[in-house]
Amino acid sequence: LRSISRGDAWPILGVSLRLSCERFYTAMANTRILLIQGHPDTLLPHFCHALEEAYSSGAYYAGHEVRRVQVADLNFPLLTSQENWENGALPDVLRTTQEDITWSTHIVLFFPLWLGDMPALLKGFLEQVLRPDFAFESTKEGMPFSKKGLKGRSARVVVTMAMPAIVYRWYFRAHSVKALERNILGFVGISPVRETLIGGVDDLKESDATPWLEQLRELGRAGQ
């Protein structure tokens, strides 16, 4: 400041103060984000993986804290009985995932639509992780009135599909995504749950993919 006049110092100090305030409020607004990649295929990169990378890069750039789970990399059995679900031991490989869910304030799930629903591997993962006494606590009145164990968290569901998204949304009423949002995420207290539906991915050109990737980066920056 010695090299400039006193009159010029005030604008520079103002800019410095503004930047400091922006950094302060950005830090205050940081979100703890858990990204759950539900695509079962690890042999090839898919658009779901590119969308996750775009969201992650945007979130890191904005200063959010990010953790990631690749469901296909986890070796866990499928549940085959109510007794096992309620009283069986959680596989050790999924304990860290439960810790990540507890840590998070926002969860993003990525998966392709297979036979009109999420892949079986992702459904099996959710059944294992969202156990009683973790995701919810049953009451004497029964399951519909269970105490929600994961309140205070929001979520976004990012789904890719071969059909046009408008057909899935309006003709099929996005039935499987709505079931996920209402009967699984909403049941355990996660709210609000927003969705990003991306159709026609089998014939997606680079020029069509770029806007989607940028949209996911922006959502990552916003922590939404």
Largest CA-CA distance found in the chain, in angstroms, rounded: 78
Neighbouring-strand partners of residue 197:
159
Q: Give pTM, 2 decimals.
A: 0.84
Taking only the tens of pLDDT, the chain with its 224 residues reads 333 333 444 343 444 444 444 444 444 468 999 999 999 998 888 999 999 999 999 999 999 999 999 999 999 999 999 999 999 999 999 999 999 999 999 999 999 999 999 999 999 999 999 999 999 987 665 555 578 999 999 999 999 999 999 999 999 999 999 999 999 999 999 999 999 999 999 989 999 999 999 999 999 999 99
Respond yes or no on whether the N-terminal peptide bond of residue 119 is cis (omega within 30° of 0).
no
Torsion from C-alpha of 24, 153, 220, 124, nearest 10 degrees: 150
Neighbouring-strand partners of residue 148:
136
d(CA 8, CA 103): 47
Contacts of 187 (CB under 8 A, 6+ apart): 136, 146, 148
Amino acid identity at 156: R
Neighbouring-strand partners of residue 216:
none
Q: Is the dihedral of CA 197, 155, 101, 221 positive or negative?
A: positive
